[in-house]
Chain A
């Protein structure tokens, strides 16, 4: 029984560590800690089984609802960090489905940005990061249907004319790299990558013949063509944004009144 108690304490300590690492945004540490945590939990279960085996037949306890015990915003943050660029809720959900367990539906994301904005308004910068808007380069207004992370540099959150494609290719390359690192991945992850690969020239001829390395290479190749032009747009707009906007507007975008439209 002593062993069980010792493990109990260890699990508790690990959970605290995971939480701390997450808050700090240290993904790698979170991953390794979670691995240790799972290991400890398995040992704990095994010990308990041994204890019970002597007395009563083992009845497996119903597993609590699967999925990480993370709030929606953290799940979204994970997916966005993986993609490395502003993304639409649908894509966030697809990434989440491919790499994480637990249910995340687009409906859960609809109110997210508003909640984040409200939280920021009531207590600015009290969270380590906010899920915020991507800003259009011309009006610095919130871009429709994109979620970004506040801790990213301003230029990453600006959407210029070429940015949608650049972000798409960036995400494809990062996703491919991630798959390459993981090695054996589920069908969801491959399907997700195929959705990207199908529209990148030279990435893959068919879903079966697709290799993450080739997708990454093709994405990088097209990316190289757009990157410079896109960066100059983005940086110019980012400078404007930091100079002209209030801190709340920098995160959630400036909205144009009904009075007048100004071109850029």
Chain B
């Protein structure tokens, strides 16, 4: 019964207000699409941070307040004085014409900052820009909407720039430095994934041709506070994202499998009850979860002893061997491999021999 799903999700969340997806969580979701636990918790809008704390596995992750402040002040700096600095950068990087300076602030609509109103206005402005009705080049913080597993998620890119040849470019302003034209690979990858979410949301709104697969990343240059811009191709991230969003198990089928009356209300349940409820939802822990999911420490504890907890590469190499102990037994030849384990077992034995001979 699909009509039942919102009700069951509300029940699962309990009395707390719903947490919403944002570009980071959508990007993280695609990082581990097979994790039913995360999908259900996110769809229900459960405050995962509070939940993890309650069951004794607080997430040691999240953006520090300093990083957020730094990011905001850098963004304010490049946008100051009528986008002066951004304009200079985008004229270089995108080859904006000198006439293209129009801008609109979509952070609020006439003092009204509700999501529906902002989204409506953003849609109008984006369409007006593409159709050439308004001379808009800089669209500041348009509020976009994306359907994620049957749920509407509101997303807010830093800036969308419109180029005269009829394409939108997502502009992402990040405060990590590009030093000697090199930046932290993990951070760039995260920014690219996040931007890909925006590109996808824009494409769903305006059509594929209207939005460029090249996003502009604006970062501080070297050790200064001066900004620099680079183009990043997010085609790969887009394909992954699109693929994973479409095959993202529809949330109703996941919810249907859960027993009725399940609740994760932090106010009324003890830690043990919460843990037992969580264990009903199947998780798929991978080390990369530690960077992106609040529940990661709990899942890691739960997955201790499983080969998959050692990472995707190990999981793939040891297909069929579920536990570390079993793998060790196979390696030392103390256990007999079943048919599906044979290939992995042969590899493990060879590896053990090599290690043994080196260590001896």
Taking the closest CB of chain B, its distance from the CB of A2, in whole angstroms, is: 55
A9-17, A54-62, A164-172, A204-212 - the one binding chain B = A164-172
Once the chains bind, are A161 and B104 in contact (CB under 8 Å)? yes
Does B120 belong to the interface (CB within 8 Å)?
A: yes
- A interface residue count range (under 10 / 10 to 19 / 20 to 34 / 35 or more): 35 or more
Taking the closest CB of chain B, its distance from the CB of A255, in whole angstroms, is: 4
Does B59 belong to the interface (CB within 8 Å)?
A: no
Cross-chain contact of B110 among A88, A141, A161, A162 (Cβ < 8 A) = A141
Once the chains bind, are A256 and B111 in contact (CB under 8 Å)? yes
Does B105 belong to the interface (CB within 8 Å)?
A: yes
Does A229 belong to the interface (CB within 8 Å)?
A: yes
A199: B residues at CB distance < 8 A: 81, 84-85, 87-88
Given contacts A168-B82, A229-B135, A256-B112, A144 and B107 within 8 Å (CB-CB): yes
B95-103, B234-242, B254-262, B329-337 - the one binding chain A = B95-103
Taking the closest CB of chain A, its distance from the CB of B69, in whole angstroms, is: 15
Does B91 belong to the interface (CB within 8 Å)?
A: yes
Question: Nearest B residue to A88 by beta-carbon distance?
Answer: B80
Once the chains bind, are A255 and B117 in contact (CB under 8 Å)? no
Cα distance, A165 to B104, chains bound together (Å): 11
Cα distance, A158 to B78, chains bound together (Å): 23
B323: A residues at CB distance < 8 A: none
A136: B residues at CB distance < 8 A: 105, 110
Scoring B88, B99, B101, B114 by chain A CB atoms within 10 A of each residue's CB, the highest score goes to B101
B87: A residues at CB distance < 8 A: 165, 199
B315: A residues at CB distance < 8 A: none
Does A201 belong to the interface (CB within 8 Å)?
A: yes
Does B154 belong to the interface (CB within 8 Å)?
A: no
Does A35 belong to the interface (CB within 8 Å)?
A: no
Once the chains bind, are A225 and B85 in contact (CB under 8 Å)? no
Taking the closest CB of chain B, its distance from the CB of A89, in whole angstroms, is: 11
Residues from 118 to 173 in B contacting A, C-beta threshold 8 Å: 120-121, 124, 134-136
Question: Nearest A residue to B84 by beta-carbon distance?
Answer: A199
Cα distance, A90 to B108, chains bound together (Å): 21
Cα distance, A201 to B89, chains bound together (Å): 11
Interface string of A220-259 (1 = CB under 8 A from B): 0010011001000000000000000000000001111110
Does A139 belong to the interface (CB within 8 Å)?
A: yes
B112: A residues at CB distance < 8 A: 255-258, 261
Q: What's the A-B contact tally at a CB cutoff of 8 Å?
A: 86
Does A84 belong to the interface (CB within 8 Å)?
A: no
Cα distance, A261 to B124, chains bound together (Å): 11
Cα distance, A91 to B82, chains bound together (Å): 11
Once the chains bind, are B111 and A255 in contact (CB under 8 Å)? yes
Interface majority SS (helix, strand, loop, mixed), chain A: loop
Does B109 belong to the interface (CB within 8 Å)?
A: yes
Question: Nearest A residue to B87 by beta-carbon distance?
Answer: A199
Once the chains bind, are B108 and A144 in contact (CB under 8 Å)? yes
Cα distance, A50 to B292, chains bound together (Å): 76
Once the chains bind, are A139 and B99 in contact (CB under 8 Å)? no
B110: A residues at CB distance < 8 A: 136, 139-141, 254-256, 261
Q: Chain B: how many interface residues by the 8 Å CB criterion?
A: 30
Once the chains bind, are B103 and A165 in contact (CB under 8 Å)? yes
Does B83 belong to the interface (CB within 8 Å)?
A: yes
A88: B residues at CB distance < 8 A: 80-81
Once the chains bind, are B117 and A226 in contact (CB under 8 Å)? no
Question: Nearest A residue to B103 by beta-carbon distance?
Answer: A164
Taking the closest CB of chain A, its distance from the CB of B220, in whole angstroms, is: 15
Interface majority SS (helix, strand, loop, mixed), chain B: mixed
Cross-chain contact of B98 among A138, A143, A167, A225 (Cβ < 8 A) = A225
Does A104 belong to the interface (CB within 8 Å)?
A: no
Cα distance, A167 to B112, chains bound together (Å): 25
Cα distance, A122 to B323, chains bound together (Å): 76
Once the chains bind, are B121 and A261 in contact (CB under 8 Å)? yes
Taking the closest CB of chain B, its distance from the CB of A24, in whole angstroms, is: 31
Once the chains bind, are B88 and A258 in contact (CB under 8 Å)? no
Question: Nearest B residue to A163 by beta-carbon distance?
Answer: B82
B81: A residues at CB distance < 8 A: 88, 91, 164, 168, 195-196, 199
Cα distance, A139 to B220, chains bound together (Å): 35
B103: A residues at CB distance < 8 A: 161-162, 164-165
Cα distance, A196 to B108, chains bound together (Å): 27
A161: B residues at CB distance < 8 A: 102-104, 134-136
A168: B residues at CB distance < 8 A: 81-82, 84
Cross-chain contact of B135 among A162, A167, A196 (Cβ < 8 A) = A162
Taking the closest CB of chain B, its distance from the CB of A170, in whole angstroms, is: 10
- New contact pairs (12) apart from A141-B111, A164-B81, A199-B88, CB-CB < 8 Å: A91-B80, A136-B105, A136-B110, A161-B134, A165-B103, A168-B82, A195-B81, A196-B84, A199-B81, A261-B112, A261-B117, A261-B121
Top 6 nearest A-B pairs by Cβ distance?
A: A164-B82, A256-B110, A141-B110, A161-B102, A165-B101, A139-B110
A residues apposed to B, CB below 8 Å: 88, 90-91, 136, 138-144, 161-162, 164-165, 167-168, 195-196, 198-199, 201, 222, 225-226, 229, 253-258, 260-261, 263
30 A-B pairs with CB atoms under 8 Å apart are: A90-B80, A140-B110, A142-B111, A144-B108, A161-B102, A164-B81, A164-B82, A164-B101, A165-B83, A165-B101, A165-B102, A168-B81, A168-B82, A196-B81, A196-B84, A198-B88, A199-B84, A199-B88, A222-B98, A225-B98, A226-B99, A226-B101, A253-B111, A256-B111, A256-B112, A256-B117, A257-B112, A261-B121, A263-B120, A263-B121
